[in-house]
Every structure is written in structure tokens, then in C-alpha cells.
Structure 1
Amino acid sequence: CRNRAEDIRNWSVEDVCLFISRLDGCSLYSETFREQRVDGRILVLLTTDHMIKSLGLKLGPAVLISEAVTKKL
């Protein structure tokens, strides 16, 4: 488990964008993550509240992304 957690934290901005773009219903938000320079280290710290209020995501995609990130840890 620890190795997988380290892997996601080492993701580049492009890795994060690819991950987001592959999630059902979330692909249109990948550019937002790129613009905000969200890399893996930041991605694991983001809450759904951050994604909604700071990144402008809708609740559904924010929850899906949060769940997908949690599964990677």
C-alpha cells in the first residue's frame, strides 16, 4: 500500500490531468487542474470543498475525484 501512495504523490501535473480525464464525467475538468498546476502532492491534499470552491467543480465530479484519489492511496 505504501508504494502506491508514494506513486500518486510523485505524479506530475500531466499525470494528474490524465487521471482526471479518464474518470467518468470528469474529463472537462482536467484543464482546470492543469491551469491550477495540481500535481500528485497537491491532489492528495485536496478536499471536495477545495475542488468546489477553489476549482469550480460541481459536487458530483468533486466527489468522484475524491473517491478515486482515496482508492489510489
Structure 2
Amino acid sequence: MEDDDDDDEEDEEDDDDQQDEDEEEEEEADEMEPTDQNDTTEENNDVDNVEEKFDPRLDNFEDIQNWSCEDVFQYFKHYFPDYAHLFKEQEIDGPSLVLMRKSDVLSGFGLKLGPAIALYQRIVMMQNNDRDFRLTWI
């Protein structure tokens, strides 16, 4: 009789082990499924969707030399709300913005590389009054 009880317990343990393995395989399969490339998180919106936020009313840089620190802050608040305060803290006005270089943005703001490059792309666009971000790499 005891042998039958032991066999039943072993069968139950085997069933539990198999169920655990099946659940692990399902989890691994879920992790490997492709994700929708159109899904964006709010964190990525500031950096990745710069082009989508283009606003012709804001993106007229002909008088950028006359922009105050507040004008620069308001502009970056529209495109990069999480980082606009940096321009205000550093007292960057229009003339300063025109003179900014990559090193100013990469090291002067204390940002991670991704956001710093996104900001620099926008600054180059403003400096050249051109939406072509490829100028960033010149």
C-alpha cells in the first residue's frame, strides 16, 4: 500500500514539474514575439519623435539672433519638455544658441548621450534654418 502512495506522490511531482516547464516555455515564447515598432513610450517621445512635432509657427528661425532666454526656453519646452529647463538654467538666449557646438551640448548639460544628441540635432537645425538633421554629423 505504501508503494502505491509513493508512486502517486511521484506522479504528482512529475506533473508539477512538467507544468512548470510548460509555463517557462510559454513565457520564453512571449518574450521572443516581435513587438510593434509603432509603440512608443512617453520617455522615447522627446528623443525619437522630434520630426513628428514639427510646428511651422515655432520653426521660423530667421530672427533667432533676437530670441531671449525665455524664447529659447519656450521653444525647447515644446519639443523637449523634460530638458527645456537646462536652457533657462544656463541662460542660453538666441545668440548663444547660434554659437553652441556639439561639445557644449554633450558635456555642458550633463545629459545621457541619447537626449544630448537629440537636443544637438535640433540646435543644428535651428542654426542652419534647415530641417535636415544630417548636418549634425558634419
Q: Tell me which interval the TM-score lies in, with the shorter structure as reference length.
A: 0.7 to 0.9
| Paired position in structure 1 for 2:116 | 62
Residue identity in the other structure for 2:81: S
The letter for the 1-side match of 2:72 is V
When the two structures are aligned, how many residues end up with a matched partner? 68
Unpaired runs of 5+ residues, structure 2, are 1-59, 129-138
The normalised TM-score by structure 1 is 0.72
Say whether residues 1:49 and 2:98 are aligned partners: no
Report the alpha carbon displacement of residue 50 of structure 1 after superposing the two structures with TM: 0.7
Q: Is residue 29–residue 57 contact of structure 1 (8 Å, CA) maintained in 2? A: no
| AA in 1 matched with 2:117 | V
State the TM-score, normalizing by the size of structure 2. 0.43
Secondary structure of the equivalent of 1:28?
coil
Q: Whose relative contact order is higher, 1 or 2, with alpha carbons under 8 Å and at least 6 apart?
A: 1
Residue 11 of structure 1: aligned partner: 67
Distance 1:52 1:70 in 2: 13
**Distance verdict in 2 for CA 1:17–1:39, change over 3 Å:** same
Change (3 A) 1:71 1:53: closer
Aligned pairs (5 A) from 1:25-40:
26-40=80-94
Alpha-carbon distance in structure 2 between the residues aligned to 1:57 and 1:45: 19
SS in 2 for 1:38: coil
Q: Percent identity?
A: 37
Q: Which residues of structure 1 form unaligned runs of 5+? A: none
Q: Deviations over 1:12-56 (max 9, x none)?
A: 001101111111xx2111111101100010011112221121121
